Structure 1
Amino acid sequence: MKRKLKKIMLIVLIIITAVIVITVLSVFVSRLINSDKNKIDTKTGIQESTYIDIDGMKQYVQIRGKNTKNPVMIFIHGGPASPMGYVSAYYQRELESELTIINYDQRGCGRTYYANNCDVNSNIDLLVDDLNKIVEYAKERFGKEKVIIAGHSWGTVIGSIYIQKHPENAICYIGISQITNLYENKLNAARTALEKDAIKGTEDEQKLTNLINKMSKVKEYNDMSLDDLGQLVSITSKYIACEGEMSGLSQMITGITSPDMNFDDMKWFMSQMNTEKFFAQNKEIMEYAFFGFDIGTLSKTYNVPVYYLAGKGDYAVCQKDAEAYYESIEAPDKAFYWIENAGHSMFMDNPKVYCDTIKDIMSKNSD
């Protein structure tokens, strides 16, 4: 009996070892293939990951493009504190022949966090100032008078504030999954879910109604329940999410098979899994994101062209709120693009349409 049990355990161990080896080899081979696919080898191109100094802070930046004479676009990642540089080639590859694209890990997160021994203060004023320093760096390095400012989700908060402070530096502003008031955006997304036929008469309808009623009374960050927030988003997603949305597992696979993902990226990605600790670590920024920013307090007159991209299946932030705000603003040029088969991170869900939309925006600002 013992001999038989040992034999079974040995077989199980061999199978587990084989699975691990095959998985590691698959990841290794995929990273090699993607490295070749993502390689920029034009004489006029740039493929660089580096750190620049911002008032004594080591700021991580990634720069990619096939011709440095092309316009420069600075991409402000979302979150808060969710860098995307290590998967950028996946969704921006089609743009790299027409743009030089700069991704950066904001202060207090990702590679920037680890490069500064995990000791970087962060608040909205510093983040906007950091962006300005990166813009000035890009202008000087690539000989540009202006750059394109593109923000995703939380990045649209930084971007919206920045272009009103420094319109002289921007060719245009692109708000991807634009936030107007994050806490209300999430509640309104849930209210939209309640309008769907599929939820009528279900247990989810009552749960979501109760959550909305409870959360609508919350006016301060310290009174917000992360558990309630998680349930709200989870139920909302069941009735708004689109078929084309990339799953969390697929995003993780895209990350680990990217040759640009390093150990710091992995560590930061894993740290986001512990929601309570992650929110506590980034409390000041989270508090501002959920209860400090209201786009209605900004001027409705923009001195640069403004373009909003919204995923039809965005359950994280109600994009009807962004559309309503868009209708109220004045700008030299403006457009609102609804992206089909895409959610909150439309560039991951539908990179082809995302790139085509950016190209359309570029065609309007080619002078």
Structure 2
Amino acid sequence: MRRLALAIAFAAALPAALAAPPTGREIIGDVGRIVAPNGVQENFKLHVNGIDQWVYTRGQDRKNPVLLFLHGGPASPSAPTMWMYQRPLEEYFTVVNYDQRGAGKTYLENDPEQVRPTLNVQQFVDDAVKIAQEISKRYGKRKVILVGHSWGTVVGMRAALARPDLFHAYVGIGQVISMLDNEKVSFDFAMARARKENNQQAIKELESIAPYPGDTPITRERIVTERTWAQHYGGLAAYRGDFAYYFNAPLLSPEYDEQAVQAIDKGSLLTLERVLNEWLQVDFKPVKSFPIPVVMFMGRHDYTTPSAPTAAWLAKVKAPYKRGVWFENASHLVQFEEPGKTLVSLLEYVRPLARD
């Protein structure tokens, strides 16, 4: 009888012992699962301006303000990296990310050759406006908070200027004010650091594109040379010359499978070749007044989209409310480098502006 009981016990335990351990994706997905009764967690496609675009919504309480996040890149989706920092924000905001046209799962959802001719800044702005309208309806909100990061700040600023009635406030993280100014500041930083350290390889490569940006056409190759050394000296991630942790993060994303991860680079190449020249012409310096509250999160060590031009613009612009927040231990990836301060700053300076 005792032997029978032991046999039964071992037999019951056998399936669990033989089962494969959960993957990193599965563990992260389970930890981050929204279980609050009034919460929301949904991934869905919206048909926006001729194509399907993937949307990801997460929040602990549907009563919270909606925050619409515009990712950078171009075509560098935030959905596969949001697990790194976003969960605490979801206690106070309903956070909506979407893969812009040409990016991530939206890239996979549509024929790239049909999307290619539509890849221009104004189209991205039109998409952001439409998605803001759709999610406002879906979640019963009069307005949403608009947040842009890096390339997303170009789209976000233009969307806020075009349709201020849709937004409580605009938050720029790694804000682009003038691309040409940014490129010069970034180049000067990299060259100064290279000379300080007598890095002959860096000096030689940077001198090969000087004067930068100058009057020579700004090609992808020249940008890569400049960015390689600016980022080597911490211009993308503070105190880091290696930022693989950020680019490897999608491998653990609950939202992305391997095919979607591989689509990130494909979408980036497709989009950059179409928007590069237009992107380099971006200049918000002539904007002297802003129609809604504006808050800028600025990494002290950001030399991807340098913070100095943003601080100078913010000091002069007129707005119903404005605030600049410096992140002393961050570079360009502010929300990943200082997630705690990101949350506190959103709660202190932004959430009170969202009154429905």
TM-score range relative to shorter protein: 0.7 to 0.9
Counterpart contact for 1:199–1:205, Cα < 8 Å: no
SS at match of 2:85: helix
Matches within 5 A, 1:1-367: 28-118=22-112, 119-120=114-115, 121-196=118-193, 199=196, 201-203=198-200, 204-205=202-203, 207-209=205-207, 211-218=209-216, 223-241=217-235, 243=238, 245=240, 247-271=242-266, 278-279=268-269, 282-290=272-280, 292-297=281-286, 299-367=287-355
Q: Which amino acid is the alignment partner of residue 107 of structure 1?
A: R
CA–CA distance in structure 2, aligned partners of residues 184 and 268 of structure 1: 31
Which structure features the higher share of helix residues? 1
Determine the C-alpha separation between the residues in 2 that align with 1:281 and 1:42. 38
Q: For residues 334 and 79 of structure 1, what CA distance do their matches in structure 2 show?
A: 26
Deviation at 1:361, TM superposition (A): 2.0
Give deviations 1:31-51, integer Å, cap 9, x for gaps.
222112110011111111110
Question: Is the Cα–Cα contact under 8 Å of residues 80 and 286 in structure 1 kept in the other structure?
Answer: no
Q: Distance in 2 between matches of 1:323 and 1:30?
A: 40
Distance of 2:241 and 2:65 partners within structure 1: 29
8 Å Cα contact 1:245/1:342 also seen in 2: no
Q: 2-side partners of 1:64 and 1:192: how far apart?
A: 38
Q: Please give the alpha-carbon distance, in whole angstroms, between the structure 2 residues aligned to 1:197 and 1:56.
A: 47
1:271 Cα shift? 2.9
Q: How large is the RMSD of aligned CA atoms in angstroms? A: 2.3
Per the alignment, in what secondary structure is the counterpart of residue 337 of structure 1?
Answer: strand
Q: Which moved more, 1:314-323 or 1:209-218?
A: 209-218
* 1:247 CA displacement: 4.1
Query: Following the alignment from structure 1 to structure 2, what is the Cα–Cα distance between the partners of residues 30 and 318?
Result: 34
CA gap 1:68/1:363 in 2 versus in 1, 3 angstroms: closer
Aligned to 2:343, the other structure's residue is in SS state helix
CA gap of 1:100–1:227, structure 2 versus 1, over 3 A, is same
User: In 1, distance between residues paired with 2:329 and 2:155?
Assistant: 26
Shift of 1:235: 1.9
Shift in Å, 1:245: 4.8
Q: Distance in 2 between matches of 1:243 and 1:286?
A: 26
- Match of 1:17? none
* Alpha-carbon offset, residue 199 of structure 1: 2.0
Shift of 1:313: 1.9
In structure 2, what residue type is equivalent to 1:51? K
The one-letter amino acid of 2:285's match is G
Which segment is superposed worse, 156-165 or 281-290?
281-290
Alignment check: 8 A CA contact 2:49 2:127 kept: no
CA distance change for structure 1 residues 281 and 69 in 2, over 3 Å: closer, same or farther? Answer: closer
Deviation track 1:176-217 (CA, whole Å, cap 9, x = no partner) reads: 000012233022122134455972655344653553415312
In 2 relative to 1, CA 281–254 (structure 1 residues): closer, same or farther, beyond 3 Å? closer
Q: Distance in 2 between matches of 1:101 and 1:202?
A: 43
Match of 1:3 in 2: none
Mark the runs of 5 or more structure 2 residues left unpaired by the alignment: 1-19
Q: In structure 2, what residue type is equivalent to 1:113? A: Y
1:101-138 superposed Cα distances (whole Å, 9 cap, x missing partner):
11011112221121123232221221111111111111
Residues 53 and 366 (structure 1), Cα distance of their counterparts in 2 relative to 1, 3 Å cut: closer
Q: Which runs of 5+ in 1 are unaligned?
A: 1-24, 273-277
Question: In the alignment, is the contact (CA less than 8 A) between 1:80 and 1:289 conserved in 2?
Answer: no
What is the identity, as a one-letter code, of the residue corresponding to 1:192?
F
SS at match of 1:86: coil
| CA–CA distance in structure 2, aligned partners of residues 366 and 157 of structure 1 | 22
Shift of 1:29: 2.7
Residue identity in the other structure for 2:109: A
**Aligned 8 A contact 2:70 2:98 in 1:** yes
Identity of aligned residues (%): 27
